[in-house]
Structure 1
Amino acid sequence: MSTTAEPGNGLRIIGWCAWCQNAADNVRIIQVDEQGSGAGGVRSACRPCIDKHGLTLFAEQPPAATPDPPMRPGYCSWHNQSADHVERIQLSEAGSGGKVHYACVHCIRVWKLTPADEDQ
């Protein structure tokens, strides 16, 4: 049987308060920094800092609105096959051979490709 560490049930949550820069009892998560690749981070605060700065607990914050990018099915020049979502890739005139190239999201990440500006 597991017990969640919530203030008030006899358990102490000891951690680092990012606001007063000190170790504190019963810190609560205020901000979660997520990154696409690599480690993210968490900022916690103690009760006095939560009250002093008017902070909102992460669990009580509304979900961030992240619009889905428009899907553009097409042909990935790197995979040489169709993909659900492709983006036009910025290549030099010499590197592209005068052709327009598209890549899937996977190839953009793996090959560190640069998507072209849509205004071009």
Structure 2
Amino acid sequence: MNTDSLRDRWVFIDFWSTTCGPCIEEFPNLKKLYGTVDKSRVEFIAVVDERRGASLQELMRKHELPWPTLKMGTGTTMEGYDIYSYPTTVLIDPKGKIVRKDIRGEELNNVFQDLQLLQ
């Protein structure tokens, strides 16, 4: 993924761990939302902490996750991102400013609808 492709676009980042039950439970909602967003205006990215005993590739295959996924080192704290627990989500506006954090489920759907980011 090239960061130039993210300019002037909304970016939704989902930080999750391969052993995080609530993270994995959110996949169906994220997939449904991803299927309705205007992909010319919004990019989804996953940043994953792969833990022992849970394969990232296996989870991605099983849940058919279509968005780009970046594998990070292990550990709950991700320096520079202020991530201290999973799941953590971040919505960044086209100017690069974080506008929402930790939104999931129906609230996430409502935010995308309010911002007119759905097709």
Q: Same fold (TM over 0.5)?
A: no
Specify which structure has the higher proportion of helix: 2
Highest relative contact order (Cα 8 Å, sep 6+), 1 or 2? 2
Question: Which protein has the larger Cα radius of gyration, Structure 1 or Structure 2?
Answer: 1
